[in-house]
Structure 1
Amino acid sequence: MTDKTFDLSRRAFLDRALLATAGSVMAGATPWVALAAGAQTAGAGRVRLGVIGTGDRGRALIQNIAKTRNCTVAAICDSYAPNLGKARQWVPAGTPEFADHRAMLDARGLDAVVIATPLDMHARHTLDAFDAGLHVWCEKAMARTIADCGAMVTASQERGKILQIGHQRMFHPTYLNALRRVKAGEIGTITQIRASWHRNNSWRRKVPADSTDRRINWRLYRESSAGLMTELATHQLQVGNWFLDAVPTRVMGSGSICYWKDGREVYDHVALIYEYAGGRKLIYTSLLNNARYGCEEQIQGSKGTIEPELGRIYQEVPPRALALERMQADVQRGHKRTIPIGGATWFPELPVTTPGESLGWGEYDETMLQFEGFGEAVRTGKPLPGLLRQAYQASVASLLGEQAMDGGQALAWPTSLVTI
């Protein structure tokens, strides 16, 4: 792909994002999109980012940052040397490298940091960056505890620094178009969302001789992760809150180490119900030994269903009339037709298989637009409106779900959360 081709596809991507949010209702619901799409070009000077954590996810972020018009990677940091070595190919030659994040912060020359470290390190790295006078983009979930999530938000507010969390679906044209159509009333009143993220692998990685299991497989241990809830569910809980325009009133659920009996501490199988005002519900499942249904959300309303992960919208199909009901209607109209004696009087209510309508697709990773928005926020000193609140509430929901499963009882939404 040439620079010219990329520029054209980038504009098409931004055009679709803006089209999906057109209108006063959507402008109020997604005010960050226009700001992100209006990011200044490189001529205004790129925002200098230091990336803390250059594992698989960190390297993917570095590649997306390279596509932006207003950001550049000015330093990389990882306490594990092999990760730094793999990241070199994605940054300009001579980019400073650090094994300790504090050394990178002390070296100056940065405007903000990008945090892609294990979950239990997010709060410490964020607070240290704020202490150094820098803005922060941090991977989701926010932190390992609800208290640490709140501490990150409070520090951002007190220091006047940007804190943006990596929920890229809020910048995805397909999801934005889905939200626009929901707000336009196309699927009626939403009463239930079903979401799932199913995989068929253990998540366990091979441990090199120069490292340890808990360092490489940190997602499998309670001290550093909530497993499926923080690594996967956070994304879809954010989508649920977003489309229902609310936070849950309470959550109940069950979790188990059901299949992978390999010494892990986090659940490999979870099933939860999040209740919202008015009796609405989000039903969430995630497991690691069957990938048939993969990652999906089914947003169900009285007039239709939207599945943004699959990029489809479906209208409700009227139920088929039973034979006896058709005969009664025929008699009332004086209409005659053959009556199938012994024919079926009941039809199994199987899933509807109509093809639906496309919601449209983005051409490449929406993480690029997410970073352009962050760069614009850093330049202006103003956070993109509403993003941090969405991220904070999604992280709280995921960690509250973990607590509900651990305790085997329904838990109410906390009343002592930080106000954003």
Structure 2
Amino acid sequence: MSVPIIVDGKILALGAVANKKTEYQDEDANQLLAFLNSAQILVQRNQLQSSLRDSEGYYRLLFEEAAHGTAIADVATGEIISCNRKLAEMIGRTVEEIIGQHQSFIHFPPDSSMMESQSYSKHMRDEEGKVIEDQLFHKNGHFIDVEIVANQLDVSGKKVLHGVFYDISERKKLMEEYRRSAQLAALGTIAAGVAHEINNPIQGIMNCASLIARSLENKDRVSDLSQKILGESKRVAKITQDLLYYSKDARIEMKESDISQIIGGALTLISTKIKHQGISLQVEIQKNLPLVTIQPQSMQQVILNLIDNAADALEEKQDSPDGKVIEVKVFLNEENSNNGIEIDVIDNGCGMAKDVMSRALEAFYTTKPSSKGTGLGLSIVNDLVNKNGGKLFIESEEGVYTKISIIIPLPRAAHKVRH
């Protein structure tokens, strides 16, 4: 007697017995069916286990051999449960050294008091699945720039954070080199305006000195001319100081700064160039703004380049009945979630088409001809703003206007203001 084992409409196996000389009864068939049903369950279980082993091996292989660093951490404790060889290579460690450590182990030096990386805390809160820029700490003592994407998963009732680490060191290096070369190129453009700006007070100093030589007997006249020389000399010193300030490397530590002074320095450097282009520069800076923690040089570069870009946009537009206008507005914005100091640079220039605006923050993207390509480009401006903890927003209408807004967050402590 034989009975087929059928699974999903297919014959999986055939059960047969030949232990009786007489005919088999229904009871015999039922016993054989019961046995075969049990056998069927065992066969299916073995097939499932084999499939799971194959699947687990496949995904384990993908995990371990991935081209990017990968790690899994326990959400409750922050302990790293698993990581691949690529992540270990990125920080000069072995997989065995990393597993079992707190997630801070891969981000900070061993003697650091930091217990939670910026990316970990963000991915744990409301930025799950987003790309967040952070750093890993290499065993040799240097930091590695990375982008991290992480998601929370539920594995056998345990919540874990699965993160993928992308090494962006080379990209950051190229961006920094490009920023620096663009900064130096921009100095050439600024220099002409600065030379003219310095020439005026120098002429005044020379004239006053000549008058002093002819007025030595008139003490009041000499005193008045001396004060003018002092004032013009201070003006030259201020212009020179602003130029040197701009030319410095921006890779410095963050410090508490007065954004009004930084913008004032930028305007000193570029105002003559703007004036010679027939552009009206309208500046509105709220008084007694809170201090912000930023890199002063890099923020001055940001302001200079936004104004310079606005001037270029005005050159590309035909004569406007309203004239060529650049507005710079700085004020405390407490009306929405982007709470902080807002800096707006607005021009009534050529504006941006939608496709241009969608790509405006891409690295090295520009619509300028090579002869005009001395600015930092919005991608690097955006990068500098991000380094200062800020956010950049673009609003534009082709042929009408462009508005670039920067929000610099306020310190968590009390708002410190300049009186």
TM normalised by structure 2 equals 0.24
More helix by share: 2
More strand by share: 2
* Larger RCO (alpha carbons 8 Å, 6+ apart): 1
Greater radius of gyration (CA) = 2
